[in-house]
Structure formats: C-alpha cells, structure tokens
Structure 1
Amino acid sequence: MKRLKSFPAADGFHMPGEFEPHRGCIMIWPKRPGSWPFDAKKARKTFARIAEIIADSEPVIMLCESDVTDSARRMLSDRIQVVEMQSDDAWARDVAPTFVVNQEGEVRGINWRFNAWGGTVDGLYPNWEKDDRIAESFCEKFGYPVYDAGNFVLEGGAVHSDGEGTVLVTESCLLSAGRNPSLSREEIEEQLKRYLGAAKIIWLKSGIYQDETNEHVDNVCAFVRPGALVLAWTDDENDPQYEMSLADLRLLEQETDARGRHFKIYKLPVPKRPVCITQEELSGLVFEPGEDEREVGERLAASYVNFYISNGGVVVPQFGDGHDADAVRILGECFPERKIHPVYARDILVGGGNIHCITQQIPKGGLYERSNGGGSSDEVRC
C-alpha cells in the first residue's frame, strides 16, 4: 500500500457525488452488544436484505470480525464478498476510507482519525482503535493508495459532495468540542478543501434532532444531483426539528454552489411521530463500561435523508410511519432513472444510525481483488 504525504486537491483528486456511477459498496457485519439488541439478530437480517438489494447493481464487500464471519456467510448469498477485518462497530460510512478520484479514473482513499464521534468529550464508546484502523487496513488489502490525514478527526457521514466542488457540512458536528478543538472554522474548511478537492464548503447550522453524531450532514441534507438536494423537513412548529430545518432552509435558499447555481431543494419529511426506543429493545442491549447508554423513550434520529444510492436503485429507510410513502414518492421524483427500494430500518436506527450510515461507496476506476474464499482470488473490473 502506498501512503501519500501530499494532499488530494494538489494531486488533482476530488470527492465524487454519491449519485455518480461507482464500483461497489462497503458494509460491516453488526455484532456490538451495546448497539444491536439480542445478539444483533434482527439487525443482521436487515443488513443482509440491504446488501442483497445493493448487490443487484454493484458488488458488495462485507467486513466481519472473525467470530461472526460464519454468521455472515450463512445469511448472505455468494454475491456478497465476506472479508475478515477487525472493527468496533458497524458504521462503514464513518470508518471506511473516504474515496477521491481524478479525471483519469484513479481512486485513492483518505484515512481520517476516528474517535467514536467525540473522543473523551462525548464519544459514544470508550475504545475505538479497531475502527480507527479500518480505512488504512481496507486500502492496504485492496491496493488503494491512501492519504493519511494525521490527527484531523472526521467521519464520512460528516461531509457530502456534489462531485463538482461543493461540500455540505454542519456546524454542530465539525465545530464540536470532541473533534478538532484546536482548529478554527477557517482552518477546518481549509483542510476539507485540501483533502476533498472542494472549492466551496457550505456550513449548515444543524442536523437531525438528537443525532448522536453531533448532527451529521448525511442525515439532514444530501445532493441528488449537482444543483439539487433533499432537506429533512417538518411543518410541525412544535417539533424541535422545525427550527433546525428552517435555519438550514433559509441558508440554502440564499446560497449557491461552487459553480454559482442556486439550489433546487426538495423537502423530505421526517416521520410524523417521533421514533423512540422501547423497553423491549433496551432490554436486549449490553453496554460496556464507559459506553453511552440509552434510555427508554429516548427519541431516535429517524430521517429519510439517510438513503443509499446504488448504481441501479435507491434504498430508502422506512419506519412504519405515515410519511413512509411520501418519502418513497419524493425520492422517486428525485431519481426517476432508479428503482426505489423501501426497507424497514428501525432495527438499524435502534443501533444509532440508518441505512446510509452502514454503507460506503467505492468510486469507479481501476481493479480490486475479490477473494473466492478458497485461497485464490480473481481480479474483477466493475
């Protein structure tokens, strides 16, 4: 594996849009007892369903700790590549490499520092060393050159790109005390431009209410194509989300992207009723000392914005709510060329995230090795 000392932007690389054609998807098989109730039985069924839907139009790599590799192989079809790799939890979007590309189609990874969304200040679990190693380990195994971001803390879900020089972030996340407290907003923005090849960073004020990631942008706002995005929304002025989304809307209505375009904004409703953790779900969790613990009735950060765009479809979270069908309809309008796949996502939400949080795209370009499980490997071009 080639470790790079330069910056992606200086080398002609940038972060692509998630709606662009891509090579495949990374996921991590769930097991952490403090995230997934009752030995992750329900969560694994949902992970498996999502992986199989994505595999209809692109390769899927499922990373697994050694003690759950057999479980993954039993529950997944042969279309899914199961790869043994250590992790602390199953949030591939946040711990896998952030990939960048150049005009020639080369792909490189970025290894940010990961500290469980806040380190000793407000991190969600006390030990995150295995998660912090995943980006470099993945690049090493699959042959991607990797940029090491040093001590700069960032998660994949904290940034969203239009592929044309515009990147969305939230102030609540990137300026949180547990990430890069020694850096100013301007210094953080400069780092993002250097590593993501961005010309413009748009700072939304807030994300989704009660989002444990300090309000990642990928749960509140996402590009569906250059110049167009979806924004989590509620008309209920008594919902704490109302003022948060309204502030973001007002900013976006005044902003332009890196190419000077005003945005087409699709309002994507949050669930009608707050989604809250139940006593039954809580009874299936086992927290380790120092891990953030949940409480009965705690509101979860349910959002339809946390969808996954595959090459052939869009996997849309569902919560058994009156706005489920609205989310499917609106995203169908945003992606008329793709098939919409509604998936009941409560069993992921209980773990602290949503569909987009458990996936990470691999952009197109180059070759990677696909293990056959028998010691040999085939090179696969996607």
Structure 2
Amino acid sequence: MAKKVSLRNPSELGFHMPAEWEPHLQCWMGWPERPDNWRENAGPAQMVFANVAIAISKFEPVTICASSAQYEKVFQMMQHKLNIRVVEMSMNDSWFRDTGPTFVRRDGKSSSVFQEQEVAGIDWQFNSWGGPEDGCYDDWSLDNLVAKKILELERHTRFPHHIILEGGSIHVDGEGTCITTEECLLNPNRNPDMSKEEIEHELKIYLGVTKVIWLPRGLYGDDDTNGHVDNLCCFVKPAVVLLSWINDESDPQYERSVEAFSVLSNATDAKGRKIEIVKIHVPGPLYMTEKEAEGIIESGHAVPRPPGTRLAASYVNFYIANGGIVAPAFGDKWDQEAYDVLKRAFPNHEVVMVQGSREIVLGGGNIHCITQQQPALPVVDVKNNI
C-alpha cells in the first residue's frame, strides 16, 4: 500500500516535478469507450489509442488501463506487443494526463521516512473540467480515483491535494519554472475561493518550482479544458518553448498566439534566462463533420459535439518518451512542417507522427492528454550515499 502523507508538502521533503524529457519508468494510458464522447462506440478512437501505445512502447514500457467491459478486448489486442501491459481499472473517460497523478521525484539520499520512495505522486482533485455547470460529463466519481489507484498499484507515496487541477494545465522545465494559463487555472469553475497568488503558491510548494509564467489564454476552441497550456505551448528544453502559431491574422488563434509570444518574450525563467520561442503552425483549422457528429450517441450526460465545431487541434500536444517524440498527425498540409520543426527541436529523439490523431481531438484532446509519464528512479551515487 502506498504511504499516505498529509503533514508536509512535496517540496519541503525534497520532491519536484521533473521535466518530461527526463527518464521515464513507464507511460500510463486509459482506454476510451463512452459512446457519448467517442464516435461509433469509440471504435476509431480505440485504434488510434492502440497505435499511440504501440508507438510509445518502442521507447519505454506502457501500461494501458481498461474497464472490466473492455479488458479482454484490449488484452487480446496487446498480448503480443512487447513492452505493453494491460490492467483493469474503472474510469469515466480516458484522459490520464488530467486524472492520473502528477509524479514528483526526489534526487539524492533517502531519508528514513522515504527509503525507496524517491518517486511520489500528487493526487489533485478533478471535476470534469468545470463541475456540474461547465464540466464535460456529469459523473466524474471514478476519474477522481484514478490517481489514487495508480499510486497504490506502484506503491508510491501519495500527496493528496484539495485544489482542482488537471495535469494538462501545467508544463515544467524541471529547473524551477512552470507555465500555465489564467484562462484555465483562474476560471471560477475550478477554485473560485482561491486567488491567483494562492494558486501560484500551491504550484510552487507541490511542484517544487520557484517561478510561474502565466499566459492569458490557451488554444482557440479548447473550450472543453478552458485553455490547457499543453495545447498551446510546451518546454522542449530549459529556456526554450515551442508555441502553437498561425500566420493568418484574421484567424482568432492569431491573437492568442501573439499574446502568448509577447508574454514569453518578456519573461525569464527561474534561473533568470530569457526564453527562446520556437513556432509550430497549427493544423487546419479543422472542424467536426456531419458524419463524425452522427456517430456520437447523445446521452444527456456529456457535452454535445455538433457538426461544424472547430477542433482544438495542435501539434504541441505530443508526448516526450525516452528518446522518442510521439506526436499527432491529422492528414493535414501542415503535418510535414510539424515533423520538421519537432525534429529540429529534438535532434536526439526519433519523431513518430501517429496518423489518424484527428480521432482523439474529436473527443477533446490529443496525445499528451491521453498519456502520463512516470519518472524513473533517480540515479544514486552509491559510493557517496552510504
């Protein structure tokens, strides 16, 4: 059983959230099935989730969590795939970036309390991206247990937190800097009784950061998450940020990209460095078709997805694996340029573009949203740690 911690916060105990490019032990993913969010009983989305898992498994182990109704199907699909295991877990939907734990790590010598507990997890509260009035579905009780279940399975220390926060709303550089958006974290449908200063304080003591850069808004059309930062920009290394961009000044995304560019250009990171910005053009714009919308069964328990809805599609929504970049491809004219930008940004990684990723964005996110990295244990200098 995982240790329960309530008296001290992670940073006081030496924990911090590592950057995504630091070594992973494995990647966690959920499995989609609800027919009121995924078209055709989630069949097309399941194929893309499987392809994402297989792509990541070439670089690091993957654990796929599937409900009891889906377990045997997923097990049969993956039983001959090396580096992939399937476990049964109940959930409301499959967005493990937001419902899974935010893993933190301690570097250095273990204390007597935390021997062999150098990786732990933060269990934020989850309210389906907005609660009863603005949430994406009306029952998130199972999702709110996902982080706890993962930490129990891994026997990792759990830091419970009262704040409502999703993993897709934060990005860190592993050196003390966090980027987030005001549109999401200051939205009254999350933590209406907390000020910006109070929320920033919690980020600092739970993520182990000393600097929070607040961008005003996220990607245009990302209404499901209220503007998660992982659809707009991300760190590719310390002091370098990849930013979703569009050249069309008449497009509503242009103003948001310029706005973010201005904030980042005038900001410094936790170590006082100016931030270099690399632009990556957004796809499309893409819209949900009549056929795609017809495949979704309206239940009254989830947000409707009508035809003509602009999709919150972004190439920034990728996963950094051990030596690999697993990124979305949309069959769009910008796919090749996105590959080229990612290859230049990550010269020591293999870039894999997963075709058909449109199926994930139809449900409200993309590859980064459906994955959650678990960091590897820190390398201990045994000679000097006796």
TM-score scaled by length of structure 2: 0.93
Which residues of 2 match residues 17-166 of structure 1 at below 5 A? 17-76=19-78, 77-104=81-108, 106-150=118-162, 152-166=163-177
Which residues of 2 match residues 179-258 of structure 1 at below 5 A? 179-211=190-222, 212-258=224-270
1:319 and 2:319 matched: no
**Corresponding position of 2:367:** 355
1:296 and 2:307 matched: yes
Letter in 2 for 1:277: M
Distance 1:75 1:30 in 2: 14
**Corresponding position of 1:375:** none
Amino-acid identity (%)? 46
**Corresponding position of 1:282:** 293
Runs of 4+ in 1 over 4 A off after TM superposition: none
Report how far residue 75 of structure 1 moved: 1.7
Q: Secondary structure of the residue that 1:66 maps to in structure 2?
A: coil
Contact 1:111–1:148 at 8 Å: present in 2 too?
A: yes
Report how far residue 3 of structure 1 moved: 1.1
**Corresponding position of 1:376:** none
Q: Name the stretch that deviates more: 72-81 or 133-142.
A: 72-81
Report how far residue 315 of structure 1 moved: 0.9
Contact 1:173–1:213 at 8 Å: present in 2 too?
A: yes
Aligned length: 364
Letter in 2 for 1:338: H
Report how far residue 290 of structure 1 moved: 3.7
- What 5-or-longer segments of structure 1 have no aligned partner? 367-382
Letter in 2 for 1:185: K
1:306 and 2:317 matched: yes
Distance 2:150 2:82 in 1: 21
TM-score scaled by length of structure 1: 0.94
Q: Secondary structure of the residue that 1:3 maps to in structure 2?
A: coil
- What 5-or-longer segments of structure 2 have no aligned partner? 109-116, 379-386
Contact 2:37–2:302 at 8 Å: present in 1 too?
A: no
Root-mean-square deviation (Å) = 1.1
Distance 1:68 1:248 in 2: 41
Contact 2:57–2:82 at 8 Å: present in 1 too?
A: no
Report how far residue 121 of structure 1 moved: 2.9
Q: Name the stretch that deviates more: 329-338 or 39-48.
A: 39-48
Q: Name the stretch that deviates more: 314-323 or 61-70.
A: 314-323
Distance 2:229 2:213 in 1: 11
Contact 1:121–1:177 at 8 Å: present in 2 too?
A: no
Distance 1:94 1:80 in 2: 21
Contact 2:327–2:353 at 8 Å: present in 1 too?
A: yes
Distance 2:120 2:304 in 1: 36
**Corresponding position of 1:372:** none
Report how far residue 34 of structure 1 moved: 1.5
Distance 1:117 1:318 in 2: 25
Contact 1:56–1:312 at 8 Å: present in 2 too?
A: no
1:8 and 2:10 matched: yes
Distance 1:202 1:127 in 2: 32
Contact 2:60–2:83 at 8 Å: present in 1 too?
A: no
Q: Secondary structure of the residue that 1:182 maps to in structure 2?
A: coil
Distance 1:71 1:278 in 2: 29
Match of 1:263 among 267, 272, 275: 275
Q: Secondary structure of the residue that 2:87 maps to in structure 1?
A: strand
Report how far residue 288 of structure 1 moved: 2.4
